[in-house]
Amino acid sequence: MKLIDSYKNKNVLVFGAGLSGTNAAKLLIKLGANVTLTDGKKLEEITDHQELSDLGVNIVAGQSPLSLLDGTDLMVKNPGIPYDVALVKAAEEKQIPIIVEVELASEVAEAPIVAVTGSNGKTTTTTMISEMLSAGKSAGTAYKAGNIGISATQVAEKATKNDEIVMEVSSFMLLGITKFHPKIAVITNIFENHLDYHKTRENYVNAKLNITKNQDEKDFLVINFDTAEWRKLSERSRAQVVPFSANGEFKTGAYQLAGKLYYQDEFIMDATDIRVPGEHNVENALAAIAVAKISGVATSKIVKILKNFGGVRHRNQYVLTANGRQFYNDSKATDIEATQMAIEGFKQPVVLIAGGLDRGYTFEKLEKDFQEHLSGIVLYGQTQKLLEKSAIAAGIKNIKLVDNLDEAVPVAYEMSKPGDIVLLSPANASWDQFASFEERGDQFIKDVEKITGKKEE
């Protein structure tokens, strides 16, 4: 870790006591800052509150008064806290700089950073890249960090010059960077997402493009070239653009042609040899291949990783097979596009479990996939009636409405036949019935284990 002095004796307000906030506070203390941590939670609900107090962090729990900004030189904000919250707005009005934890991590990191963003596929691509880069090293490790659920500052503290940090960064995080400078940036795709936070698609897209704003001609931007919009966005980067394409149209980077994967003119592997199913995972693999080849990883090691990569928990995760049915957990599919990708990834008939938080959108986009892939659908949550309308429009005859996921799983099992896929891919956020998509996915696995009498593989 670089022991920088730019925070020494600065008065820093950390807003939000989640994983990123508490670890940012600990690092700032090491860097000599005067740190106040504030959160609406009660003191006893703040993780490591005693350790933080012992280190000298001033904790203001249960409230976040505007008076906390008096004398503040910098705010480190939890990425999930919107910019229209009173304390953040007041900080902006006072022209107090606002950053997020990944920015802080990048300033102290000795290891070079590979940053990955996108509407879908971030975590899978981040994990693939990390495994490939680690396999290609004679010394050191490619650590995962960031939005993947691993504190970026903790990783930055331990990573050395022999290591790399593969950092998943969300649009929320990218709004809070100033100097963040990855040597390789990856954009998997950009759909319409998080408009409740960003307000407009333009704002959302601009946030995503921040990943490359500090890159220069020595750096690389790996970006999906399968839409005209994404190709146009690449022109806003000063980095060397390395495209990837599932359609084989752009052969200067990684691409798929006739079911085979290539990097430039080099054959890498057959697409069917990728262990995780779905065209979206072909795209994720192509992005990872591009990063690995830029980084000098041998093709044999890339192929070995992709042939053995079993996926990421809650992202089209294979759970088990029972009585000829395969169960998949895609709880991370919190939007329509993710569910489309999951459904389209299977050649077998799919019994879909879907539903969740009503964010005000409808599901006409799914009707074609419903019609072409589903043998049945089980719906729950706030959006079940909206999804039912699209299922009916798609001509699905086997539709069941239930109250919750616990009821949905046995109904889907009874609805399915040997050879079918039983897929949880909700197309909605989890927050109507669950605290997180992880909790939802874990419950699905428990329900599957209960009805099948088998354990997750």
CATH number at residue 46: 3.40.50.720
Provide the pLDDT confidence category of residue 385 given band limits of 50, 70 and 90.
very high
Q: Which of 46, 74, 99 is the last residue of a domain?
A: 99
Residue 52 lies in a domain: yes
Which one of 99, 114, 132 terminates a domain?
99
Range of lowest pLDDT (233-237, 309-313, 356-360): 309-313
**The pLDDT of residue 185:** 98
What's the pLDDT at 410?
Answer: 98
Measure the CA–CA gap between 412 and 351, rounded to whole angstroms. 6
**pLDDT of 176:** 94
Residue 342: the pLDDT is: 92
CATH code of residue 339: 3.90.190.20
Residues 261 and 369 in one domain: no
In a domain, 365, yes or no: yes
- 66 with 185, same domain? no
- 327 and 433 share one domain: yes
Is the pLDDT at 196 greater than 80, yes or no? no
Q: Judge if 179 and 37 occupy the same domain.
A: no
The verdict on 252 and 185 lying in the same domain is yes
Question: What CATH number should be reported for the domain holding residue 183?
Answer: 3.40.1190.10
Q: Say whether both 93 and 162 belong to one domain.
A: no
- Is 457 among the domain residues? no
Within a domain: 325: yes
* 151, part of any domain: yes
pTM for the structure as a whole: 0.82
Residue span of the structural domain in which 225 resides: 102-308
In a domain, 134, yes or no: yes
CB 240 within 8 A of CB 220: yes
Do 125 and 19 sit in the same domain of this protein?
A: no
452 pLDDT exceeds 80?
A: yes
Residue 449 has pLDDT above 90, yes or no: yes
**pLDDT score of 131:** 97
- Same domain as 337, residue 271: no
- Answer whether residue 258 is part of any domain: yes
The answer to whether position 172 is within a domain reads yes
Choose one of 45, 64, 99: the last residue of a domain: 99
Look at the chain and report how many structural domains it folds into. Answer: 3
Are residues 408 and 326 both part of a single domain?
Answer: yes
Q: Do 437 and 358 lie in a common domain?
A: yes
For the stretch 395-446, pLDDT in tens is 999 999 999 999 999 999 999 999 999 999 999 999 999 999 999 999 999 9
Q: Do 294 and 154 have their domain in common?
A: yes
Same domain, 322 and 414: yes
Residue 149 amino acid letter: G
Mean pLDDT of 246-260: 94
**What are 212-252's pLDDT values in tens digits?**
999 999 999 999 999 999 999 999 999 999 999 999 889 99
